A = this chain, B = another copy of it.
Amino acid sequence: MKHKRSPLAPKKPAVLKPVRGVQLATLATGLRYVGRDDLLLVTMPRGTSVAGVFTQSSAAAAPVGWCRLLLKDKKARALLVNAGNANAATGKAGLALLEESVRAVALETGCNPAEVFIASTGIIGRPLPKKALANFVPAIAKKLKPDAANWAKAARAIMTTDTFAKMVSRKVSIGGKNVTLSAFGKGSGMIAPNMATLLAFVFTDAAVDAKALQAMMDVSADKSFNSITVDGDTSTNDTLLVFATGGAGNEKIIRSDSKDGRVFAKALEEVLIELALLVVRDGEGAQKLVTIDVTGAVNDKAARVHALTIANSPLVKTAIAGEDANWGRLLMAAGRSGEKLNLKKFKVAIGGFTICKNGGQIKNYDETPVAKHMKGRDIHIALDVGMGKGKARVWTCDLTHGYIDINGSYRS
Contacts and interface: CB of A to CB of B under 8 A. Distances in A.
B360 A314 contact: no
Contacts of A321: 404, 408
B59 A315 contact: no
Given A190-B315, A359-B89, A408 B332 contact: no
A314 to B, nearest CB: 4
Interface stretch (A40-48, A229-237, A243-251, A264-272): A229-237
Interface string A125-154: 111000000000000000000000000000
A359 B324 contact: no
A295 interface: no
Interface in A344-388: 344, 346, 356, 358-361
Contact of A407 (B94, B123, B232, B322): B322
A360 B127 contact: yes
B359 A91 contact: yes
Contacts of A328: 86, 88-89, 123-126, 236
A165 to B, nearest CB: 23
B233 A322 contact: no
Interface string A298-338: 00000000000000111100110111101111011111110
Given A333-B233, A343-B59, A360-B93, A408 B192 contact: no
Interface in A208-249: 231-236
Contacts of A258: none
Interface residues of A, number: 72
Contacts of A233: 313-315, 329, 332-333, 336
Interface stretch (A29-37, A169-177, A395-403): A395-403
A407 B190 contact: no
Contacts of A358: 91
A89 B356 contact: yes
A283 B394 CA distance: 29
Contacts of A336: 56-59, 192, 194, 233-234
A20 interface: no
A335 B58 contact: yes
Nearest to A339: B58
A127 to B, nearest CB: 6
Nearest to A325: B411
Nearest to A398: B408
Contacts of A339: 58
Contacts of A315: 189-190, 231, 233, 407
A58 B409 CA distance: 38
B408 A125 contact: no
- Per CB-CB distance, the 4 closest pairs between chain A and chain B, nearest first, are A322-B408, A124-B328, A59-B335, A91-B360
Given A89-B356, A236-B331, A322-B412, 17 more contacts: A59-B346, A88-B332, A89-B328, A90-B360, A90-B361, A91-B359, A123-B328, A124-B328, A232-B312, A232-B313, A233-B314, A236-B328, A318-B407, A322-B408, A324-B410, A324-B411, A401-B404
25 contacts: A57-B332, A59-B343, A60-B335, A86-B328, A88-B328, A90-B360, A91-B360, A94-B360, A124-B332, A125-B328, A125-B361, A126-B328, A189-B315, A232-B313, A233-B333, A321-B404, A322-B408, A322-B409, A322-B412, A323-B408, A324-B409, A324-B410, A401-B401, A401-B404, A404-B404
